[in-house]
A and B are shown apart, each in its own frame.
Chain A
Amino acid sequence: MANGVQSASMAGTGVSARQVFEQKELGFVKRGLATALGSGMLWGLDGVILGIALAMAPFTAGATMYAAPLAGSALHDGFAGLWLAIYNLFTGRWKDIGRSLKTFPGFIVCVAALLGGPIGMGAYLLGINFAGAAYAMGISAGYPVVGAIMARLILKEKISPRVWAGILTCVAGAVILGYVPPEGGTMPHFYLGIGCSLLAAFGWGTEGVLATFGMDMVDPAVAINIREATSCVVSVLAVLPFVAGLAVFGQALITPNVVWVIALAGLAGGFSYLLWYKAFSMCGCSRCMALNITYAIWGLVFSYFLTDVAITTNLVIGAIVITIGAIMVVGNPKEMINLRAEA
């Protein structure tokens, strides 16, 4: 790394041009952290709005337990993709969508979409069915740990012991916050359910790493547009037909009050993802995944005002633990000026 010439200085201030640039870089990292937190906030809002939609007909009457959440998720991603396409149209990026799809990094973003979309979501639902919500939620909340390990291996991201501890603390907070007592009774496919929950954590964690790899060469706004569109199209063509979900999908699409709620959730979700993907390439995907978990806190806040959720002790403890973890992850932004170890 060439350190270059510090020939010019701000008149009379003694501040070199490099110092001015370093301040700019630090500002960029801090903006990245704020972007990641903003993504968590919108994701929390998205979850609450989507929850309201999924409590409405036709989602309450799916033929299988998978039909409603998968159809809702496909519709949500479809709307998110549509809103992002409008965003890209107005910011002059729309031509990059087709261009990206013709390249290898664009293909990798599509693979990330499958892992984070239909595979991650499908595996999570199967996990709940076979092993119960307690185990499925607890295990799949570990996705930032999977993501951090993959980011270390594939992207060579630098992750200090404090950041590792912060990521683990965030995950622990999410587990506490989402805790539900394990159901009694026998679960004949319990270990299959555990496997599916692990697959969900793997899918969600790997999505971020593959997307970050793709975004070395593709604009984040374009990458997330491709991700949402791919997730919707593949869900509709290859997943919903097998879970009797197409009828729910179609019915929701023609029910005006439902479709508008989902469109609104898609708006919050699309822009949450936009901020998330932008943050990946500003301050590293391992940190952003942990910071995104703060959505759970925002979800609580929005639920409190928009629905009638009861604030229980484990929700409060979980929120405090997540906050501590997030502070440990953010720590010293100066560490994030160079994200990767061997780059």
Chain B
Amino acid sequence: MSGEKLSLKDLARKRDLLAPGHRLCAGCGAAIVARLVMKATRGPTIVACATGCLEVATTIFPYTAWRVPWIHSAFENVASTASGIEAGLKALKRAGKLKYDHVDVIAFGGDGATYDIGFQAISGAFERGHDILYVLYDNEAYMNTGIQRSGGTPKYASTTTSPAGKVIPGKLELKKPISHIMVAHRIPYVATASPAYPLDLMRKVRRGLEVEGPAFIHILAPCPRGWRFDPRYTIEMARLAVQTCVFPLWEAENGKYKLTGVSRSIARNPKMKKPVEEYLKRQGRFRHLFTPENRHLVDEIQKIVDEEWNWLLKMCQLS
């Protein structure tokens, strides 16, 4: 089943399912991501949330910002909680006890919950084939606890547990290629998205809900506090990440990779690709790279980004 055509004009009039009054930081990327994801829902929906910024700041008791049924259980188990929700709904439907024809199940996890502590639960849920949409809002560190490094933190970013010191220039390890790992699970739909491109993001969410079986959408969620930039630039960061190919936009339906949006345009017209420096220099977490002795690290990052981009082009058979 292919869904209705989504347009910004129509979606702008759709009531937000994440209400205002939540207490995420001013300019929070995760808040934009969650709003956009919920805008793209198509009917009865239940949301499960992993522990993290989104969870704590939207449900400070006795308040809640969620206009859909919502559950938070723990940090590492949102995929298994969602598995239980999906299985429960399936069983209730079979027994004739469900009043809906179908209920969509969305799981939200941050990078900590997804790359690290909850990785096993996601892998299990995807192997079992539960019909859930898992949304990774990736702010690239444990922001909720104060900017500690995660498996999703990019190389050389300074965090409170991978600080740029006199000897060590921030995180030494690469960002885990989480979405490709999810493609390797042979699930029907995997995509990346950026809040700078809302229509692309919402179309992917809708597609993720439409496919039968697990879907995974990896959405970059710039964090003004953790990345050290002025809150007004959240969308700019999300856009630069795509324009520099640090965070390309693609989707893989049944394992078949395809670039989307601006990334597709860059593939066709490589001149559009901006140098990573334009992205890095705007963020305090990379400030230490812009000294004469660390300059080569920027070059190294550029090399890594180029290699990964070329690999992706190959996967999309565009090179």
| B partners with A | no
